Amino acid sequence: MKPLETTVSALMAVRDGGVGVDAAVASILAWGERLLELIVVDDGSQDSTPESLERWAQRDPRVRVFTRPAQGLVPALNAGLAACRGRWVARMDADDVASPERLEQQVPLLKADPTLALVDGRARFFRNGGEVPEGMRLHEAWINGIVEPADFHRCFSIESPVVHPAATFRRQAVLDLGGYRDHASVPGVAEGPIPEDYDLWLRLHAQGWRFRKVPELLVRMHDRPERLTRTHPAYSREAFRRARALWLASTALATPRAVVVWGAGKAGRPWIRWLQAQGHRVVAVVDIDPRKIGSTRQGSPIVAPDALSSLDAEICLVAVAARGARPLIADALASLRPDWRQGRELFFLR
């Protein structure tokens, strides 16, 4: 067995994993000698999952199972994280299947670059007996295109750029932040559930940690209709907006700023209200609809994009929901405000 500080703890939390948990565990144990242990937290399963896990634990001493009453994913993950003994933690979900080469691809990168908090991998979504919906296929293409640290830096404000079940991270870096959290109660900033993984990546990013992805397929993810990301309020559009707001309020918008919002429609209005509630000055709202230009949105003038070159603004938030609009807006901003850098003065939001 390799020294403790150079090996990996795989971390899985499961509730009612059904038949999929066996395939997930088998794929993890196939990682071989680099795997120190598999920590499985059974969060109150009522199906055959406990029996399946007990068989694995009896068969392989690397498997350590912790059974607890149902408390939710985040408490289960934090309990598992506290039990992990490896320097690196490889996350895995109970209904996904990992590549046997995953750790061979990820661990050397983490060891070689102390600025990396996490190394991710590409994912492929699948459904049993059916086609993955178009929206999920588009998300797969987007997230798999984020590879280098600079890609992650640009994309954090848009959506979570990390495939959580394909991520291997520095255990101590996450412990130093207090682990996962599933809600935030900062008055006026974020009140309600938030996606635990996205929130964690944003907090690591805010601390200056870098991220990268190996450009190989490392996990096949079972896109079940009942998957938590489709059913739990912590993964709703509003919850993701709470996480972004919390992150912006602790970084680029930690103090009152002069802000321009691109988007006078449905996607932009919540951000205008939030900015004003936080004491920021919304100097203008940009839109291309001639029927809106010249009017106001919540007290701020609506202007055409050409006005950007003369606006006295420090930060620009782009909140436009129309599919395909983002690259067009990025091209326009590169011409109108070349001094703005994405992830510094310019943030694309969803």
The CB-based long-range contact list for 104-109 (8 Å cut-off, 24+ gap) reads 104/34, 105/214, 105/216, 105/218, 106/168, 106/214, 106/218, 107/8, 107/34, 107/168, 109/212, 109/214
Mean pLDDT of 220-225: 82
Amino acid at the residue 158: I
pLDDT of residue 339: 95
147 close to 121: Cβ distance less than 8 angstroms:
no
Provide the pLDDT confidence category of residue 130 given band limits of 50, 70 and 90: confident
Provide the pLDDT confidence category of residue 18 given band limits of 50, 70 and 90: confident
pLDDT of residue 260: 98
pLDDT of residue 241: 92
Neighbour tally for 235: CB within 10 Å:
19
Q: Which fold has domain 4-237?
A: Spore Coat Polysaccharide Biosynthesis Protein SpsA; Chain A (3.90.550)
What are the helix (H) ranges across the chain?
A: 20-29, 49-59, 73-83, 102-112, 134-144, 149-155, 171-176, 196-206, 228-231, 237-250, 269-277, 325-336
Q: Which of 18-22, 55-59, 224-228, 272-276 has the lowest mean pLDDT?
A: 224-228
Bridge partners of 120, per DSSP, are 213
**Per residue in 303-348, pLDDT tens?**
999 999 999 999 999 999 898 899 999 999 999 999 999 999 999 9
123 close to 166: Cβ distance less than 8 angstroms:
yes
Bridge partners of 186, per DSSP, are 190
Q: How far apart are CA 343 and CA 211, in angstroms?
A: 14
Q: Enumerate the domain spans of the chain.
A: 4-237, 252-348
Residues with Cβ < 8 Å from 15, sequence gap 6 or more? 42, 43, 44, 45, 49, 70, 76
Q: Which of 155-159, 202-206, 226-230 has the lowest mean pLDDT?
A: 226-230
Give me the percent of the chain exceeding a pLDDT of 90: 82
| Greater pLDDT, 127 or 260 | 260
| Phi and psi at residue 306, to the nearest 5° | -60, -25
Give me the percent of the chain exceeding a pLDDT of 70: 95
Q: Does residue 194 surpass a pLDDT of 60?
A: yes
pLDDT of residue 234: 84
Mean pLDDT of 17-40: 90
Closest CA to 286 of 344, 271, 274: 271
**Per residue in 66-114, pLDDT tens?**
999 999 999 999 999 999 999 999 999 998 999 999 999 999 999 999 9
Q: How far apart are CA 151 and CA 138, in angstroms?
A: 17
Neighbour tally for 210: CB within 10 Å:
17
Mean pLDDT of the chain: 92
Residue 151 tokens, joined:
């890609």
Q: Does residue 1 surpass a pLDDT of 50?
A: no
Mean pLDDT of 23-34: 89
pLDDT of residue 190: 54
Closest CA to 213 of 306, 125, 323, 118: 118
Domain 252-348: top CATH class: alpha beta
Phi-psi region of 139 (alpha: psi -120 to 50; beta: other; left: phi over 0): alpha
Q: Which of 36-40, 223-227, 260-264, 300-304 has the lowest mean pLDDT?
A: 223-227
| Greater pLDDT, 270 or 189 | 270
Q: How many residues are recorded in the chain?
A: 350
Provide the pLDDT confidence category of residue 350 given band limits of 50, 70 and 90: confident
**Per residue in 248-296, pLDDT tens?**
999 999 999 999 999 999 999 999 999 999 999 999 999 999 999 999 9
Q: Does residue 3 surpass a pLDDT of 80?
A: no
